[in-house]
């Protein structure tokens, strides 16, 4: 069985889907691995590093895609790349299936079994495969560094000969994986942290990291779907959230938002009027900016100053830490590879497996995921 790795072509993408550690393990299990030349350059991995791990180097992406039985990627392929994939191959990647109808249709036309890393169910046996959580950990750490760099204030309390400087106040909106990592990181920098989430269970997690917790409590089955992801709520509900957040945000030096809903626009939680009430020199980092943003004034891919507040709209945050983001993502993919190919010699798309069926988008020439089938018409 031949596993293919190509260079990521998305602008600004620095991650890669396999690293020497995971390639070595695949080779030891009996797989062959083919890597496009230069694929690891942005992650500081050379062709020679891959060769030492047991991979072979190919001159271009087309030669990798046309030969490989299994293709591992970070980002969704282009339609051109899909058309080069060997018919009937398996693809494991982030696919953005709700917003990529042409790619999904092309994958079905090539009879590719496409497994989407975004759609992996949040169940115990899938934890090692859950790349959304892994990349959220990376992003939750990095956004704090972005916020601290943009903020004109110290994070910790400082006692100096010129007097004492009080600690910065941070507000983290959303206590999922990214939010928890942001709490832990900014707390280590010395800030006083308040966290907000609609799920009562998130309160204990936030408090365990030293944050004060604020909530608009919602029953568990209303706040989350069966896959462990946030549900879309009503406009009245989001208005209540805004009313609660307003008083906390206006006193914050740093606000980090993480609220996302799979397949939907991110909920609007910070209005322009709320930004106007914030302290000049404070910072908002909108981690949901690629899905429309939690802040009304955030702009994807831009850092803007509005009403004296710096609003950071950094996209693809995990890619800014390519070494460890690639390592962790490659480990997630390896766990998935071991699930679909336990013997390293052939692949088994087991339609009775909860992890596989939950993340399988196309198979045998059809779009098979019910939610994606409805979205891609």
Which sequence positions are flagged as catalytic?
Answer: 122, 127, 130, 133, 229
134: enclosing H helix or E strand: helix 131-150
Between CA 94 and CA 336 the distance in angstroms is 13
Of 88, 193, 201, residue with least CA distance to 148? 193
Check: CB of residue 56 under 8 Å from CB of residue 33. yes
Let me know the angle formed at the C-alpha of 48 by 339 and 52, rounded to the nearest 5 degrees.
55
Between CA 236 and CA 267 the distance in angstroms is 12
DSSP letter string, 300-365 = TT-EEEETTEEEE---SGGGGSHHHHHHHHHHHHHHHHHHH-TTSSS----TT-HHHHHHEEEETT
Between CA 163 and CA 159 the distance in angstroms is 6
First to last CA, the chain: 34
Of 294, 301, 317, 298, residue with least CA distance to 309? 298
Of 147, 247, 232, 246, residue with least CA distance to 198? 232
Q: What three-state secondary structure class fits 230?
A: strand
Residue environment code for 150-167, b if the CB has 16+ CB neighbours within 10 A, otherwise e: bbebbbeeeeeeeeeeeb
The CA R_g of the chain, rounded to the nearest whole Å, is 22
Of 275, 357, 276, residue with least CA distance to 284? 275
Q: Which CB contacts under 8 angstroms, 24+ apart, belong to 49-56? A: 49/20, 50/20, 50/23, 52/20, 53/20, 53/21, 53/23, 53/24, 53/27, 54/23, 54/24, 54/27, 54/28, 55/5, 55/23, 55/27, 56/32
């Amino acid at each position: 069985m031949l596993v293919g790795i190509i260079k990521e072509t998305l602008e600004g993408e620095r991650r890669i889907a396999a690293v020497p550690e995971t390639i070595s393990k695949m080779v030891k299990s009996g797989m062959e691995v083919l890597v496009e030349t230069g694929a690891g350059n942005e992650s500081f991995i050379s062709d020679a590093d891959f060769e030492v791990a047991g991979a072979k180097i190919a001159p271009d992406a087309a030669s990798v895609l046309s030969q490989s039985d299994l293709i591992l990627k970070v980002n969704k392929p282009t339609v051109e790349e899909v058309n080069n994939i060997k018919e009937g191959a398996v693809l494991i990647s982030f696919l953005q299936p709700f917003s990529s109808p042409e790619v999904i249709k092309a994958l079905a036309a090539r009879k590719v079994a496409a497994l989407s890393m975004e759609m992996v169910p949040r169940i115990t046996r899938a934890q090692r495969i859950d790349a959304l959580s892994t990349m959220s950990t990376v992003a939750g750490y990095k956004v704090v560094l972005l916020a601290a760099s943009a903020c004109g204030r110290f994070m910790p309390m400082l006692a100096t000969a010129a007097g004492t400087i009080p600690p910065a106040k941070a507000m983290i909106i959303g206590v999922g994986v990214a939010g928890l990592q942001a709490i832990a990181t900014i707390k280590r920098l010395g800030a006083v942290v308040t966290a907000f989430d609609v799920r009562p269970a998130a309160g204990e997690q936030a408090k365990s990291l030293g944050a004060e917790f604020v909530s608009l409590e919602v029953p568990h089955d209303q706040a989350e779907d069966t896959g462990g992801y946030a549900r879309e709520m009503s406009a009245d509900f989001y208005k209540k959230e805004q009313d609660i957040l307003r008083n906390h945000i206006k006193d914050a030096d740093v606000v980090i938002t993480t609220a996302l809903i799979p397949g939907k626009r991110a909920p609007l939680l910070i209005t322009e009027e709320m930004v106007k009430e914030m302290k000049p020199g404070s910072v908002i980092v909108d981690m949901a900016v690629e899905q429309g943003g939690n802040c009304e004034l955030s702009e994807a891919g831009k850092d803007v100053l509005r009403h004296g507040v710096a609003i950071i709209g950094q996209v693809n945050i995990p890619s800014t830490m390519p070494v460890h983001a690639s390592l962790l993502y490659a480990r997630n993919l390896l766990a998935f590879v071991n699930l679909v190919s336990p013997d390293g010699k052939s692949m088994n798309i087991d339609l009775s497996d909860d992890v596989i069926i939950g993340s399988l988008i196309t198979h045998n020439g059809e779009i098979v995921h019910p939610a994606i089938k409805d979205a891609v018409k």
